[in-house]
Amino acid sequence: MRVPKRLVERLLSAHRIVVSSHINPEGDAIGSALALAMALKAKGKRVEVISHEGVPRRYAFLPDAETVRSAPSFTPDLLVLVDCAELARADLPESLRQTSLPVTVIDHHPKTVDRSRKGWVVWIEPTAAATAEMIAALTAKLGVPMTKELATCLYAALISDTGVFHFRNTTPRTLRLAASLLEHGIDPQELAYRIMEARSFAATHLLARMLQKAHFEPETGLCWSVLTAKDFAQTGTTDEDTENFINFLRAVEGTKVAVLFREAAKNYVKVSLRAIDSVDVAAVARQFGGGGHPAAAGCRQRKPLRFVVTAVLRAVRHALFNESNEQTKSEGEKRS
């Protein structure tokens, strides 16, 4: 993977660097940010990882996660966004979202709209399974030696974005990187368990509710469910506990698109979307101010739950309908 020279120069010429990622951070966001910070610190930089909304409990065990702050303690001269390409979706305090600081973007989400500004250095590599693949290439380029801590963060990011190497974004390059990270004494079972499998008993009850309320439409391939504020309150859980829940909906045979709605607060709904085939759920998420990958995306709406469910499901059904029409058309073309 070619690391842009301008990006390396930009990083090396900065002194006080803030690294941040997107709102609702998952393993790739946190792991890549922590790994990049380690590498830049090894190069003598003053670096802070900022997650304004905090590190989800699931990732709190990662090396250096305890150093993540909700706002920087210094005035930075460079802002680096990883796994995120726009300030509007960055997990930063409002003052930094409005910043005129130089910004460097390292991201693997396909660039759909150019929201970058003058003076930004943007590196986007959609073939990378995780932003961590790019960070690994960058740390090698910087000549930073691999350590167990660095390897842990990168591996955590890789398994998070590939569903422990389940998903189609897993390439030979991904597995080669994973193999080289394993040389540094990390425990693949522990990491997969903590990041993908482990679930509290309370969250297990929440999962039961989600499954109980799931709807499946065999004719469209839509599988969806809702968790209300009441579900969270009655099980003593929060939205953080729903990580990976959507995989249960995605796994239903015949599902093409899975959607999970969570009422995180009154009139505040978080939506996760997953696609199995060629429906682009990131395009659906963008209609609601969100984003992501074609097969995994999300959005947030400050509206009543019922309203959001209706609007998002209508958009998903529309995407599924268009997709099945496209398929019928191309099958017809093949026959004729």
Strand partners, 225: 260
User: Smaller CB distance to Mn ion: residue 28 or 323?
Assistant: 28
Query: To the nearest whole angstrom, how small is the minimum distance from the Cβ of residue 59 to Mn ion?
Result: 13
- Considering only the stretches 5-13, 75-83, 147-155, 171-179, report the one whose residues sit in contact with Mn ion under the rule CB under 5 A: 75-83
Encoding tokens for residue 238? 């929060």
Instruction: Tell whether residue 323 is a contact of Mn ion (CB under 5 A).
Output: no
Interacting residues with Mn ion between 148 and 207 (CB under 5 A):
161
- Considering only the stretches 95-103, 130-138, 221-229, 248-256, report the one whose residues sit in contact with Mn ion under the rule CB under 5 A: 130-138
- Considering only the stretches 7-15, 23-31, 225-233, 259-267, report the one whose residues sit in contact with Mn ion under the rule CB under 5 A: 23-31
User: Smaller CB distance to Mn ion: residue 28 or 125?
Assistant: 28
Instruction: Tell whether residue 83 is a contact of Mn ion (CB under 5 A).
Output: yes
Q: Give whole-number Cα distances, 308 to 70, 242, 303, in Å.
A: 29, 18, 7
Query: To the nearest whole angstrom, how small is the minimum distance from the Cβ of residue 226 to Mn ion?
Result: 26
Q: How many residues does the chain have?
A: 336
Query: To the nearest whole angstrom, how small is the minimum distance from the Cβ of residue 234 to Mn ion?
Result: 33
User: Smaller CB distance to Mn ion: residue 28 or 64?
Assistant: 28
User: Smaller CB distance to Mn ion: residue 27 or 63?
Assistant: 27
- Considering only the stretches 80-88, 255-263, 274-282, 319-327, report the one whose residues sit in contact with Mn ion under the rule CB under 5 A: 80-88
User: Smaller CB distance to Mn ion: residue 81 or 227?
Assistant: 81
Encoding tokens for residue 151? 């390897």
Query: To the nearest whole angstrom, how small is the minimum distance from the Cβ of residue 22 to Mn ion?
Result: 9
Instruction: Tell whether residue 28 is a contact of Mn ion (CB under 5 A).
Output: yes
Site of tokens 């759909």 = 112
- Considering only the stretches 52-60, 125-133, 212-220, 325-333, report the one whose residues sit in contact with Mn ion under the rule CB under 5 A: 125-133
Query: To the nearest whole angstrom, how small is the minimum distance from the Cβ of residue 108 to Mn ion?
Result: 6
Count residues binding Mn ion (CB under 5 A): 5
Strand partners, 217: 222
User: Closest residue to Mn ion, Cβ-based?
Assistant: 28
Query: To the nearest whole angstrom, how small is the minimum distance from the Cβ of residue 131 to Mn ion?
Result: 5
- Considering only the stretches 76-84, 207-215, 223-231, 322-330, report the one whose residues sit in contact with Mn ion under the rule CB under 5 A: 76-84
Q: At residue 143, what are phi and psi to the nearest 5 degrees?
A: 75, 25
- Considering only the stretches 83-91, 113-121, 244-252, 308-316, report the one whose residues sit in contact with Mn ion under the rule CB under 5 A: 83-91
Q: Give whole-number Cα distances, 153 to 111, 122, 138, 157, 267, in Å.
A: 25, 22, 14, 6, 35
User: Smaller CB distance to Mn ion: residue 131 or 152?
Assistant: 131
53-67 exposure pattern, b = at least 16 Cβ within 10 A, e = fewer: eebbebbeebbbbee
For residues 286 and 294, is the Cβ–Cβ distance under 8 A?
A: no
Instruction: Tell whether residue 125 is a contact of Mn ion (CB under 5 A).
Output: no
Q: Give whole-number Cα distances, 39 to 12, 222, 270, in Å.
A: 11, 43, 33
What dihedral do alpha carbons 229, 235, 236, 240 form, nearest 10°? -70
Instruction: Tell whether residue 91 is a contact of Mn ion (CB under 5 A).
Output: no
Site of tokens 């993908």 = 196
User: Smaller CB distance to Mn ion: residue 84 or 315?
Assistant: 84
Q: Which residues in the chain belong to E strands, given as ranges?
A: 16-20, 46-50, 78-82, 103-107, 121-124, 215-217, 222-227, 257-265, 268-275, 291-293, 296-301
User: Smaller CB distance to Mn ion: residue 4 or 110?
Assistant: 110
Site of tokens 């997709």 = 323
Q: Which residues in 83-175 belong to E strands, given as ranges?
A: 103-107, 121-124
DSSP H/E element including 158? helix 148-162
Contact residues for Mn ion, defined by CB under 5 A: 28, 83, 130-131, 161
